[in-house]
Amino acid sequence: MTQPITKAIVPAAGLGTRLLPATKSQPKEMLPVGRKPVLQYVVEELQEAGLRQLLLITGRRKRVIEDHFDDDPELVSALKEAGNETLLADLAYIAGKSFFFYTRQSTPMGLGHAVSLGADFAGDDDCVVALGDSLIVADDPAAPLRAMMKAHRDLGAAAMVAVEKVPLEEAYRYGIVSVVGAEPPPGEPVAMTDIVEKPPVGRAPTTLAVAARYVFSPAIFEALDRTLPDKGGEIQLTDAIRLLIHKGEPVYAWLFYPDQRRYDVGNFESYFRTFIDFALADERYGYLVRKYIKAKAYEL
């Protein structure tokens, strides 16, 4: 029996310039969405998907990431003494089910470069890549990754890339993929024929956008080694995936189901949207936010 996939690489070293000044001294991956930082949702999703070894790619000004996932005996005993069961339960994520590894990308040279730093960690194993600034919302947020890992293994894939449909006028913001056939069915891997990073406005070949979750075989690291920096000097993960496709390696797109959605906090518009949706859906405080928004909408 083949071993399950247990390793995930989580790039979280980007500069987050589009979110300045919020990200001047704070990682964008640690911005709160509702009651948790973005990265905690990502880690919980990975743990639920059975990924036990997590390599976080961090960098300068990112040390709070390690602190967030580290034990804090003093805080825990203070809460115990105060009998604050609710807050103690909120900190239960620390006693998580994973081993955390960290490496630093001191100079952010692109997502592809960040992922390449995980080559030794992955070794000969298939591994997941999950972007630290993007959340999956679904009844079961780990369901897409679980299905992608299974499909990856069943098909002996070199890469399984989550995609979502985006409005045509927004396609220029994303990595856009082309696949065999017209419209891929959700949840069924479809062979990818091309991938382009941020196509110029009006030139996107499809509206299928890369959606922050990937499963790779070790072939990705060799492709990343051969990937040249783009015009901006960054090594793009999409360019390495394109090399795999051109080499004839089996690369697939996996489309989210309609009730599965990717949110990212990469710019203020998407961050605000993400925060509002999470605050509205919050099981503890959502009813207050809904009341507030209704009153506000009335004023507007």
Enumerate binding residues for ligand UTP (CB under 6 A). Answer: 11-18, 29, 57, 105, 108-111, 113-114, 131-133, 266
Residue nearest to ligand UTP (CB): 14
The least CB distance from residue 133 to ligand UTP, in Å, is 4
| Alpha carbons 294 and 105: distance in angstroms, whole number | 44
Residue type, 76: V
Closer to ligand UTP by CB, 68 or 79: give it: 68
Cβ atoms of residues 233 and 109 within 8 Å: yes
Closer to ligand UTP by CB, 15 or 76: give it: 15
For residue 27 the two structure tokens come to 């990682």
For residue 148 the two structure tokens come to 């992608």
The least CB distance from residue 26 to ligand UTP, in Å, is 12
- The DSSP H or E segment spanning 16 is none
The least CB distance from residue 232 to ligand UTP, in Å, is 10
The least CB distance from residue 43 to ligand UTP, in Å, is 13
Paired sense of beta strands 175-179 and 53-58, if any: unpaired
Closer to ligand UTP by CB, 29 or 190: give it: 29
Closer to ligand UTP by CB, 108 or 189: give it: 108
Q: Name the phi and psi angles at 32, rounded to 5.
A: -75, 140
Closer to ligand UTP by CB, 39 or 255: give it: 39
| Alpha carbons 156 and 200: distance in angstroms, whole number | 33
Distance of CA 122 to the CA centre of its chain: 17
On the 0-12 / 13-18 / 19+ scale of CB atoms within 10 A, 165 is middle
Cβ atoms of residues 20 and 123 within 8 Å: no
Cβ atoms of residues 22 and 28 within 8 Å: yes
Q: Name the phi and psi angles at 141, rounded to 5.
A: -60, -20
Closer to ligand UTP by CB, 14 or 34: give it: 14
Closer to ligand UTP by CB, 18 or 153: give it: 18
